[in-house]
Structure 1
Amino acid sequence: MSVQVPWSVLPDYRCFGCSPHNPHGLRLAFHPRPDGLLARFTLDRGFESYPGVVHGGLVGVICDETIGNLIVLERHKPAFTVSMRTRFVTPLLVGREYRCVATLRADGEELFHGSAEVLDADGGVCATASAVYQPFALDQVRHQLTLDDAEVDLLSRAINPTAINPR
């Protein structure tokens, strides 16, 4: 069963990684795991670099999306990526199914640290990523995200449904 990401409360969100509304995007769906979050994906030739090989930058996008959504789902705070290091073990091939598994390190509230592995159908590691994220308050970055007051409120409640007054 897939998890609904908080951004889906915005009727026309266009995230390249996870929005079903972006016809050019990856349309990742996320599934909970006891230790983190999982995204299964298969990319076609529209996402290749060398013939038959998935572009490495997209591997980074998939890891970043999976870790970033894990942060917002588990920690109830959105966060910008500060740095990310990706290690490629073997090329990903177009037309094959892979899965990305993200986990978070238990740490303080100032920065979040996450990691991800991209695995092939046999469980072999194809790529790994480690990243650092800076949490932010939606109302403080709304001008960068082009959100109006109603969208900030709606998204804040979706991100942290237990907050009495998210602003």
Structure 2
Amino acid sequence: MNTKEWEKIPNVDMNCFGCGSENHHGLKMTFERKQEKIRSIVIVPDHLRGWSNIVHGGVLSTICDEIMGWAAMHLAKRFMLTKTINTSFLKPVTIGSKLKALGYIKERIDERNAIMAGEIYNEKGQLCTMSIGEFALFTPDNFKKLNIVPNDLISKMAGVFNRG
């Protein structure tokens, strides 16, 4: 991987609310990796607004959860499930603005747990939202045992985050 450029990460679940390109009600987030960070550029659509023209706080929490989850998968090379998430809203975020979300590992507790960080910046580069979350990490075989995602999708996803 060229460490000077952001490398696009392919998605295999097209119906996810956060990252599914075919989910017409979702965020359609796409992701890139550069060294030990994952990035997504997001424009929140009008139908996900809260009061007036402000992005709903639940949507901002979802963006943070999604960027932290992708960071867990692609940086720790493990499947993950969110255990806890704590989100701080520092500045209002307006609908239609171009946001930059960043995710990274804050602390790798052990092979099965990690503390992740997610941040959302506005067009001026100001930090608007930040989250810290604890994530449970799973090998593909252990994730299959949960029986919550079809095995063929697990295999496709593992192929993506285990490359490079």
Q: What TM-score do you get using the length of structure 1 for normalisation?
A: 0.83
Task: Find the structure with the greater CA-based Rg.
Answer: 1
Counterparts in 2 of 1:87 and 1:157: CA distance versus 1, 3 Å: same
Counterpart among 120, 123, 126 of residue 124 in structure 1: 126
Alignment-derived partner of residue 165 in structure 1: none
Q: Which amino acid aligns with 1:20?
A: S
User: Percent of aligned positions with the same letter in both sequences?
Assistant: 19
User: d(CA) in 2 for partners of 1:73 and 1:3?
Assistant: 12
User: d(CA) in 1 for partners of 2:136 and 2:126?
Assistant: 31
Counterparts in 2 of 1:153 and 1:41: CA distance versus 1, 3 Å: closer
By how many angstroms is 1:99 displaced? 0.8
User: d(CA) in 1 for partners of 2:152 and 2:103?
Assistant: 31
Alpha-carbon deviations, 1:109-144, whole Å to 9, x = none? 1211111111111111111100000013231122x2
User: d(CA) in 2 for partners of 1:33 and 1:160?
Assistant: 15
- CA-atom RMSD in angstroms: 1.9
Q: Which amino acid aligns with 2:120?
A: V
Alignment-derived partner of residue 57 in structure 2: 56
Report the secondary structure of 1:65's partner residue. Answer: helix
Q: What TM-score do you get using the length of structure 2 for normalisation?
A: 0.85
User: d(CA) in 2 for partners of 1:52 and 1:22?
Assistant: 22
User: d(CA) in 1 for partners of 2:41 and 2:156?
Assistant: 28
Counterparts in 2 of 1:53 and 1:81: CA distance versus 1, 3 Å: same
Alignment-derived partner of residue 3 in structure 1: 8
By how many angstroms is 1:21 displaced? 1.6
Q: Which amino acid aligns with 1:78?
A: F
Q: Which amino acid aligns with 1:30?
A: F
Alignment-derived partner of residue 40 in structure 1: 41
Counterparts in 2 of 1:41 and 1:2: CA distance versus 1, 3 Å: farther
* More strand as a share of residues: 2
| Conserved 8 A contact 2:100-2:121 | yes
Q: Establish whether residue 103 from structure 1 lines up as the match of residue 108 from structure 2.
A: no
Alignment-derived partner of residue 75 in structure 1: 76
| Conserved 8 A contact 2:107-2:116 | no
Counterparts in 2 of 1:37 and 1:150: CA distance versus 1, 3 Å: closer
Report the secondary structure of 1:31's partner residue. Answer: strand
| Conserved 8 A contact 1:88-1:128 | yes
Q: Establish whether residue 158 from structure 1 lines up as the match of residue 163 from structure 2.
A: no
In structure 2, list runs of 5 or more residues that go unmatched: 1-5
Alignment-derived partner of residue 114 in structure 1: 116
By how many angstroms is 1:161 displaced? 4.8
